[in-house]
A and B are shown apart, each in its own frame.
Chain A
Amino acid sequence: MISVENLYKTYGHGSAATHALKGINLEIESGEFVAIMGRSGSGKSTLLHILGLLDVPTSGGILVDQKNVLKLNEGEKARFRLEKLGYVFQEYSLLPEMTILENVYVPAVCLDGKNGYRKRASELLEIVGLGERLKHYPNQVSGGEQQRASIARALINRPKILFADEPTASLDIASAKVVLELFKKLNREMGQTIVMVTHEPEDERHVNRVIWLRDGLVDKETKSEYMGEYQKSS
């Protein structure tokens, strides 16, 4: 599904240059729940941003379903992100002026001129356990609930890949567990491909595979004992 070839990312120039990625090569299959782990500064967030088309690499290639996504122009990238990718950010990323329901269906308004997106947003919020919170504003729910709403928003356009950038970093242990269980549920029951950056060691057991980064390079890959949709079918 995702094929990354010789990916480099350098910030700055000359002696001030920082090499965040130094030639990443990896493959992610459809239906996988993959964690990208590594120490702080290893390049894991940079890699996720580039995979999610939020940033551009200095060189290298990324194929998503055999499509060279780095060749897309800004408008095409925006469309690709809207239709094919979903994001869950580290910090709460809901728009404070909108209700939980509105936050979830915002990305679908562009694609669905009718009002079908409302029903789908409600269903997704039921799935993530926020069926009773549709008309609440973000500041009226907990951090864990906000993050679950972010997950529902990421899924509203049925993305091929869900990217999550340290989604539990700002949460307490109980809320973090709920969010991770939700990811597992989505992966297991809906076959959702998920790529998650995390630095929590215990998250390793929730995913199919961990790609370890070190100094901008893939250090190793480890398989988890968690049996998701991907491993069951392969």
Chain B
Amino acid sequence: MGNLKLALFLAFKSIIKGNRWALILIILVMSLSFVNLLLTPSILSGVTNTLNQQQIDTLYGNIIVDPPPTEHYLGHVSLIERKIEQIPGITGVSSHLNSEAFMEYQWKEKDSPSDKGESGTWSVIGIDPSREVNVTTIHEHIIQGSYLDGNDRDEIVLGVEIAGGDKAQTADFLTLQGVKVGDEVRLTYPNGVQREYQVKGIFQAKEMTQADRLAFVTKKEIASVLGRQVYGDRASQILIRTGQGVTANQIIQEISSLGINAEVRSWSEYGGAVGGIVSSFDVIASLIGTIGLVVAGIVMFIVIYINVINKRRQIGILRAIGIKRDVIIGSYLTQAIFYAILGIVFGGLIFGYVIQPYFEFHPLDLPLGQVSLVVGALTISSAVLGLLIAAVLAGFIPVISIIRQRIIQAIWGN
């Protein structure tokens, strides 16, 4: 007990009466190191969060109902939609009737049937616009023209990566090369049906992989393309949007209990491509975090080492008068942990009250969307633990190197 008391006392006096500038420097380094440990993963988590949210907002909603493996379509969709809407916590249900289509622009100017012209094959999704706005946010991302109405039959809304033009990121030759609102496009469906549509709107959801490569028509229109009246009550999939306070698993269980012959999945099961990106970000964040920790540790090591070297004689005298090595090591470890705790506190305050609010009001405007910081409990606890371990090592190594010297050598330097 006495040894611990003395170690704490020696550390306290050393901090209180030691070099103020060294104290300020080391706390500054610790604070910035802690901020760095939080900032990098938070930005990457923010990117991940944006990507995930984009997938939910533009492609999948929160939950997807697919046909059973043996079926191409879900039947009695109106009934299913009504049943699902009864479940508390659900804010939107929208069924999709999907198809592929070969799309052509300015086809009348082609020299011959073999002339590719401005064309390509993309997915076309039939939607009920009044339901779709409760599930996805495509309607909020219209950059030209307007969104679909429920009764539209010969109008189409194109993703910007299909339409092409200045705002598309895809190479021009892979798009329709500059379709504008009001232009005509011709779609040839797999069953041979050919339809001409006027472009009603062009959207840019900034979703990296898929959403901006979709085209939307009304569900009525695509049902008529598929040719049978029965398709009016069928769907390729149903997207579901949930509100706050419910988890995907809860809703999935509820839907499963309705006895619908379908596969019910969370959106995350579809987010495979993004999952890979997220894993890559985690590795990058760990690497940068480790480098940050090593730098913080080295700086702390240097400051403590200089401090210990300057106090070599004092350490020798303490040992000479019978103070145990453990007590002296304990006092320096206490100082190092104290520096780290102050760094964590000040760094945390800087992060929480300066950096995070700044990014909240001024999110990073990246090509993939607006990114603000997302800091999780695991990130915080890893940063705290990492900094404490770095501090302990940085405090322990210098003092152990001095304390291994003979007492006489420490006091008189010979």
CB contact list, A50-109 vs B, under 8 A: 52, 54-55, 74-75, 78-83, 85-87, 89, 93, 95-98, 102, 106-107, 109
From B10, B317, B322, give the contact of A93 (CB < 8 A).
Answer: B317
A153 interface residue, CB < 8 Å from B? yes
Q: Tell me whether B320 and A54 are in contact (CB under 8 A).
A: yes
B17 pairs with A97, CB closer than 8 A: yes
Question: Taking the complex as formed, is A110 at the interface, i.e. its CB lies under 8 A from any CB of chain B?
Answer: yes
Asked whether B407 is an interface residue with its Cβ less than 8 Å from the other chain, the reply is yes
The interface stretch among B210-218, B220-228, B323-331, B375-383 is B323-331
A29 at the B interface (CB under 8 A): no
B18 and A113 contact, CB distance less than 8 A? no
Considering only CB atoms, which chain B residue lies closest to A49 in the complex?
Answer: B408
Give the residues in chain A near B324, CB-CB below 8 Å. 75, 78-79, 110
Instruction: Give B96 Cβ to nearest chain A Cβ, in Å.
Output: 73
Given A81-B320, A85-B322, A106-B323, 13 more pairs with CB closer than 8 A:
A74-B325, A78-B324, A79-B322, A79-B324, A81-B322, A97-B14, A102-B13, A106-B6, A106-B10, A107-B323, A110-B322, A111-B2, A113-B1
Chain A residues touching B, range: 20 to 34
Instruction: Decide yes or no whether B130 CB sits under 8 A from chain A.
Output: no
Residues of B whose CB lies within 8 Å of any CB of A are 1-3, 5-6, 9-10, 13-14, 16-18, 313-314, 317-325, 327, 406-408, 411
Please, which residues of chain A bring their CB within 8 A of the CB of B6? 106, 109-110
Q: Which of A75, A87, A109, A154 has its CB near the most chain B CB atoms (within 10 A)?
A: A109
Measured between alpha carbons, how far is A49 from B323 in the docked complex, in Å? 17
By DSSP majority rule, is chain A's interface helix, strand, loop, or mixed? mixed
Expressed in whole angstroms, the Cα–Cα distance for A229 and B408 within the complex equals 32
* Complex partner residue of A96 from B10, B17, B321, B327, CB under 8 angstroms: B17
Least Cβ–Cβ distance between A100 and chain B, in angstroms: 13
A80 to B407, CA, bound (A): 15
B325 neighbours in A (Cβ, 8 Å): 74, 78
Measured in the bound complex, the distance between the Cα atoms of B407 and A52 in whole Å is 11
27 pairs of residues in contact across A and B, judged by CB atoms under 8 Å = A49-B408, A52-B320, A55-B406, A78-B319, A79-B322, A80-B322, A82-B323, A83-B322, A86-B321, A89-B317, A89-B320, A89-B411, A95-B317, A95-B318, A97-B16, A97-B18, A98-B17, A106-B321, A107-B321, A107-B323, A109-B2, A110-B2, A110-B3, A110-B327, A113-B2, A137-B17, A157-B322
